[in-house]
Structure 1
């Protein structure tokens, strides 16, 4: 944890308590809009977390009135194609980093999550939203179709609903986001932090080695044809069954006692 905690950031905050870490987007005056500098800091922080075995789960949240309002539009005026290419490459790298680190990442969402902010929610492994949260891909309203947010969000939502969001730019409520699979649960605003932490603690109680294996396997099998997905999953299950954590977990279940994870004993 020390290597992560000693990093100094301008646009984000990092803190950890036990095996749970919080990454807080801290540009409240900009509704946590994703400038290039902001995204690079997020990438650096998530990469450091990925290398830190003391952290089991990460919660991503935003300070101020919004979770994240998308890209910082002030950076997108009158720039060169190379600059725009760089912006969206950095954004893609951020999303890939969130899904590639071994720890599950939970989005703690309040206020608005729009465009690349909605993309962030869709990219996180899990999401808890407050009742006031709103989600949108509104780029069409300003002449900038939400093509990169579309990649992540369309892998969460049904096709017709996704097209409606993209073509109209209109937001959906937290309850609609729950109905369509963008978030896992919706809670009162005053319960948002507690409910998100409770979910994180459930995950942190599991074997870190097994969670790491499972997260990687989930994303690898998603886009495989079913026969290949099963072949891959069989190989993963076989490897998993040989692990000390699996043997401990099975024995603990049969002996009706809490498991003592070998992988977490030193971390």
Structure 2
């Protein structure tokens, strides 16, 4: 199967930006060009003012993302290092996802391996088909999943993560759901219906509330309790002063649907 002309497809579907890895022949693997395109798409969706959520998925039904492209001589060969530019493109993508003010949902259409699992963990929410497998398979080629560990440590129970990293084995969608890696697991035929259901619960909410809420979530997760309480206290007047907060309160009192503008 030949390489697709456009390795990443980006399109708006209503209020949702869809970012689709389009490298079925390479099991939707990542290289630097692919990652830079994802990065740019997230940035554009965040800035356009109309997008309410981002979906990341892959083409086909075999792989969501197989991780870094390990083909010898490819642009993104995973372990190549340019000491003049020590900042890795995967780190740039993870930082972009961390800073993104829109909810990012992974539509897990196929198996998730290695760096693809890091991408999954970096998304805010995840809906998966029940026949997918997940794994950090780096141990099989003599390395450890160093680049994606920071996000996996945030999502997985420590002992489960250690088992994954040490054994390099694959696990089921049901296990990933039990561990809190996935929000929902459904039969493959119901994947898009479940995703639409989830998106409907997101896109009708205040963009301002979601933006401030995601910022607070990410900030407080890195704080101690005392620091987090001080941060929350300082954010309350900021949040309540927004136009969306005022509109939401007025709509509640007037028993009508709020008209959120994202301001």
Conserved 8 A contact 1:110-1:132 = no
Q: Which residue of 1 aligns with 2:44?
A: 48
Aligned ranges 1:3-14 → 2 under 5 Å: 10-14=6-10
What are the equivalent positions in structure 2 for 1:154-169 lying under 5 Å apart? 154-169=153-168
Secondary structure of residue in 2 paired with 1:154: helix
Question: How many residue pairs are counted as aligned between the two chains?
Answer: 255
Runs of 4+ in 1 over 6 A off after TM superposition: 76-79
Residue aligning to 1:189 = 188
1:28 is matched with which residue?
Answer: 24
Q: What are the equivalent positions in structure 2 for 1:15-164 lying under 5 Å apart?
A: 15-64=11-60, 65-74=62-71, 75=74, 81-82=81-82, 89-164=88-163
Q: Which moved further from structure 2: 247-256 or 229-238?
A: 247-256
Structure 2 equivalent of residue 224 of structure 1: 223
Post-superposition shift, 1:251? 2.3
Quick check: 1:99–1:125 contact (8 Å CA) kept in 2? Answer: no
RMSD value over aligned CA atoms?
A: 2.0
Any gaps of 5 or more consecutive residues in structure 1? 1-8
Cα deviation, 1:159-180, whole Å, max 9, x if unaligned, reads 0000000000111111111111
How does the TM-score come out when normalised to structure 1? 0.90
C-alpha distance in 2 between matches for 1:154 and 1:49: 27
* Alignment check: 8 A CA contact 1:20 1:55 kept: yes
Task: State the distance in 1 between where 2:216 and 2:10 align.
Answer: 28
8 Å CA contact 1:22–1:58 kept in 2: the answer is: yes
Change (3 A) 1:84 1:142: farther
Residues 80, 243 of structure 1: alpha-carbon distance in 2 compared, 3 angstrom cutoff: closer
Please state whether the residue corresponding to 1:260 is helix, strand or coil.
coil
Deviations 1:12-51 (A, max 9, x none): 0011122111110000000011011111111111111111
Which deviations, in whole Å up to 9, do the C-alpha atoms of 1:224-267 show, x marking residues without a partner?
Answer: 01100111112112211111211221222233221111437xxx
2: CA distance between counterparts of 1:123 and 1:113? 13
Change (3 A) 1:180 1:93: same
Q: TM-score, normalised by structure 2?
A: 0.91
Supply the distance in 1 between the matched residues of 2:187 and 2:34 (Cα, whole angstroms): 29
Contact 2:69 2:78 in 1 (8 A): no
The unaligned stretches of length 5 or more in structure 2 are: none
Distance 1:81 1:178, change over 3 A: same
C-alpha contact (below 8 Å) 2:70/2:78 kept by paired residues: no
**Residue 136 of structure 2 contacts residue 168 of structure 2 at CA under 8 Å; is this kept in 1?**
yes
- Tell me by how many angstroms 1:58 deviates: 0.7
Q: Decide whether the 8 Å contact of 2:31 with 2:77 is kept in 1.
A: no
Q: Distance in 2 between matches of 1:158 and 1:84?
A: 36
Structure 1: distance between partners of 2:140 and 2:13: 41
In 2: Cα distance, 1:116 partner to 1:84 partner: 23
